[in-house]
A and B are shown apart, each in its own frame.
Chain A
């Protein structure tokens, strides 16, 4: 072998070695395996009833809502029909079948359901059951210490007893009533309330009966928009008609009224009987005391404590969103409560 040939061979090996990292690229270019657009557009998780709607369509398609229940769904999942005549018998191991509750028969306590449960009539409570998902055609009652792993949707009232854990989405077309010690993530309903306790709402007062407030240390950067560098205290029984961004903490005094929105780089405390027409946004905690009312969304990057206050209204729903949310008895939200990490209802 001539030295030239050896050199050429070495060169060829070297070139091959250098091009080796390009091989996957060249293969992907020649035979694309992943050249479709990202499937992210429109597939967001904002529609909380998405899974319930999909399952309803599936239930219709597979005849789960007919006069008789088929033994299997179209994808092969077994189906069990449960009624007073045919009670649920498999008490000792998790059931992987879709369970259809044909009438108002209560399920036994302490069971695990790894597939969906469809309640065609109102679903009475049973204790300490673990559900993957529940679709209620009417009211759904979850007994004490029940667990829902993915979603629950009731076309009627969704009543959740003390100590339940609702992972994922809990929605209702009518209302959700939560007990105490309930852990939750995302709730949505025309009205969401903790216990049956009604929140006290002060009678409406004419704006003329308040004392007008204007921040002394603030700067009105444009009409109706203020900036304050330190903390802000809106005095009790006063009226603030603009929106404001505060670089410190905010206290809205007892009985004060704000017609705009408030943003705080620190905390916000809305004291009893305050009325905020706009939104409250804070980087730290937001506390809404009993008797207060906020019409706009409440957005915190840390946590929200909601006492027996009212958020939103039946004609103008709203959202409470934060990584951590705590709701006390009487707390009422018309719309949605979205806890990024942990939501809980507690006694005090």
Chain B
């Protein structure tokens, strides 16, 4: 019994330390965004000898949304003779393939679909296969529901003029904000996550995350770190860590905004969170040791941020363990240690999971210049509870920690009304 009590006591201190670090991190990032120097060295590169570029758009049953994405890409101001758009149809069962063929016929020089009927499932495998057909040094990846602005391609390519940059990530802005309570909450969460969290990491030269949905990768860097990890459920996080460990920079561009469709149902949201959590936990298992003992002697602050980034989805379990330790100590006859309990409460309030904390969201809303949407903040607590449940279940699943290929893939459901034809045909 004494051993259990000792383990619980030590465990509680460890848990408190972890939670305090996350809490400080949230505050530090927020204060940096409110009062620190905004670092965006590449956003003003407006003229250059732009390199040949391939834009990959992986798609699996995306008939509802892919037309909008392709139309937006076609109107981007990137030199037409240096741009190839490659939508990758990964065994769709809806009309995605027909739509891609239609666009390829309309724009044969600019749209060259890559059609997959077999092979390993998943985005990373699809990208690896499609990349083999192209030789360009820089490529961008957009999700099929993403709608870029006119200048986005140039903005995302500009950081690659820096020889150290291996990957670039733009900012995601929800398009279907007003659809439901969930979409409004996700709008706030995205705001906090990108406007504060990602940009603060960029400002402080930490580890901005390549998110895989609106970003780009340098081929040399990707090949240097061994290509896409097709066994990962979060190939973007996996790649981010490998690039940083190999000495490449990951850049976040806050002004490179792109619209996305966020999940509109809680079921869809839970599936999305679970996939992210499993992918992050896989990466945590794979790279925790490498982060601490990296060959490139990364600055300790970058190592710490990388580890905290990887561990973000393990926090709810850490928190649960903390509460378990508290209960064990209580029933073992130890008086409640109110100072510890208070820290646990405050930290849990601030750091649960991947979602931006309240004050981060408030700061992001201020930075975005919006006024009314911040009123929805109290409802974030509901979102937190749902996410905690989803992350908890994902963290306890085998897929979070197993080695080898993922057992299943969860595709995010689309809700947008599909268009019947492309503008060129109508």
Interface residues of A (CB under 8 A from B): 21-22, 24-25, 27-29, 32-38, 40-44, 46-48, 186, 188, 221-225, 227, 243-245, 260-263, 278-279, 281, 295-297, 299-301, 312, 316-319, 321, 334-336, 338, 340
Partner of A35, one of B162, B257, B373: B373
- Closest residue of chain A to B176 (Cβ to Cβ) is A37
Measured CA separation A227–B246 after assembly (Å): 11
Measured CA separation A47–B187 after assembly (Å): 27
28 contacts between A and B (CB under 8 A): A25-B377, A28-B372, A28-B376, A29-B181, A29-B379, A32-B178, A34-B370, A35-B373, A37-B176, A37-B177, A37-B187, A38-B191, A42-B150, A43-B149, A44-B255, A46-B155, A221-B224, A225-B224, A244-B163, A245-B164, A260-B163, A261-B161, A278-B161, A281-B161, A281-B163, A317-B47, A318-B48, A335-B47
B11 / chain A contacts, CB cutoff of 8 Å = none
A34 / chain B contacts, CB cutoff of 8 Å = 370-373, 375
Measured CA separation A223–B224 after assembly (Å): 9
Partner of A299, one of B41, B258, B372: B41
- Closest residue of chain B to A243 (Cβ to Cβ) is B163
B49 / chain A contacts, CB cutoff of 8 Å = 295-296, 316-318
Measured CA separation A340–B257 after assembly (Å): 20
- Closest residue of chain B to A189 (Cβ to Cβ) is B47
B45 / chain A contacts, CB cutoff of 8 Å = 297, 299, 319, 321, 338
B163-A25 in contact (CB<8A): no
Measured CA separation A260–B246 after assembly (Å): 20
- Bitwise, B163-184 to A at CB < 8 A (1) or not (0) is 1100000010111111001001
Given contacts A35-B178, A46-B154, A28 and B375 within 8 Å (CB-CB):
yes
Query: Which residues of B363-392 are within 8 A (CB) of A?
Result: 368, 370-373, 375-379
Given contacts A41-B147, A43-B149, A319 and B47 within 8 Å (CB-CB):
yes
A336-B46 in contact (CB<8A): yes
Given contacts A32-B178, A296-B48, A299-B45, A44 and B151 within 8 Å (CB-CB):
yes
Measured CA separation A25–B378 after assembly (Å): 7
A46-B43 in contact (CB<8A): yes
B44 lies within 8 A of chain A by Cβ: yes
- Closest residue of chain A to B174 (Cβ to Cβ) is A37
A41 / chain B contacts, CB cutoff of 8 Å = 147-149, 173, 257-259
B149-A44 in contact (CB<8A): yes
A22-B378 in contact (CB<8A): yes
Measured CA separation A223–B223 after assembly (Å): 10
Number of interface residues of B (CB under 8 A): 54
A263-B376 in contact (CB<8A): no
Measured CA separation A319–B47 after assembly (Å): 5
A225 / chain B contacts, CB cutoff of 8 Å = 163, 220, 224
Measured CA separation A28–B220 after assembly (Å): 49
B103 to chain A minimum Cβ distance, whole angstroms, is: 21
Given contacts A46-B154, A299-B42, A317-B47, A40 and B378 within 8 Å (CB-CB):
no
A334 to chain B minimum Cβ distance, whole angstroms, is: 8
- Closest residue of chain A to B77 (Cβ to Cβ) is A47
B191 / chain A contacts, CB cutoff of 8 Å = 38
A209 to chain B minimum Cβ distance, whole angstroms, is: 25
Instruction: Across the A-B interface, give the 5 residue pairs with the lowest CB-CB distance, nearest first.
Output: A42-B149, A34-B372, A335-B47, A35-B178, A338-B44
- Closest residue of chain B to A300 (Cβ to Cβ) is B41
20 further A-B contacts with Cβ under 8 Å, apart from A25-B379, A34-B375, A44-B255, are: A21-B378, A36-B178, A41-B173, A41-B257, A41-B258, A46-B151, A221-B247, A222-B220, A223-B220, A243-B163, A245-B247, A279-B162, A296-B48, A297-B158, A299-B45, A316-B49, A317-B47, A318-B49, A321-B45, A340-B44
B25 lies within 8 A of chain A by Cβ: no
A338-B46 in contact (CB<8A): yes
- Closest residue of chain A to B246 (Cβ to Cβ) is A221
Measured CA separation A319–B45 after assembly (Å): 6
Measured CA separation A301–B39 after assembly (Å): 8
Interface residues of B (CB under 8 A from A): 39, 41-49, 147-152, 154-155, 158, 161-164, 171, 173-178, 181, 184, 187, 191, 220, 223-224, 246-247, 255-259, 368, 370-373, 375-379
Partner of B163, one of A32, A245, A295: A245
Partner of B161, one of A36, A43, A221, A279: A279
A262-B255 in contact (CB<8A): no
Residue from the set A21, A41, A44, A321 with the largest chain B CB neighbour count within 10 Å: A41
B151-A47 in contact (CB<8A): yes
Measured CA separation A29–B372 after assembly (Å): 11
A188-B163 in contact (CB<8A): no
A40 / chain B contacts, CB cutoff of 8 Å = 171, 173, 255, 257, 368
Given contacts A28-B375, A35-B184, A41-B149, A335 and B155 within 8 Å (CB-CB):
no
- Closest residue of chain A to B150 (Cβ to Cβ) is A42
B376 / chain A contacts, CB cutoff of 8 Å = 25, 28-29
B41 / chain A contacts, CB cutoff of 8 Å = 281, 299-301, 321
A261-B149 in contact (CB<8A): no
Measured CA separation A299–B162 after assembly (Å): 8
B149 / chain A contacts, CB cutoff of 8 Å = 41-44
B215 to chain A minimum Cβ distance, whole angstroms, is: 15
B184 / chain A contacts, CB cutoff of 8 Å = 29, 32, 35
B353 to chain A minimum Cβ distance, whole angstroms, is: 21
A222-B223 in contact (CB<8A): yes
A224-B48 in contact (CB<8A): no
Measured CA separation A335–B224 after assembly (Å): 33
Measured CA separation A296–B329 after assembly (Å): 64
B47 / chain A contacts, CB cutoff of 8 Å = 188, 312, 317-319, 334-336
Measured CA separation A221–B259 after assembly (Å): 36
Partner of A36, one of B48, B177, B220, B379: B177
Partner of B375, one of A24, A244, A300, A318: A24
Measured CA separation A42–B372 after assembly (Å): 22
A261-B224 in contact (CB<8A): no
A272 to chain B minimum Cβ distance, whole angstroms, is: 23
Partner of B224, one of A37, A38, A222, A297: A222
B155-A44 in contact (CB<8A): yes
Measured CA separation A176–B15 after assembly (Å): 62
A188-B379 in contact (CB<8A): no
B224 / chain A contacts, CB cutoff of 8 Å = 221-222, 225
- Closest residue of chain A to B171 (Cβ to Cβ) is A40
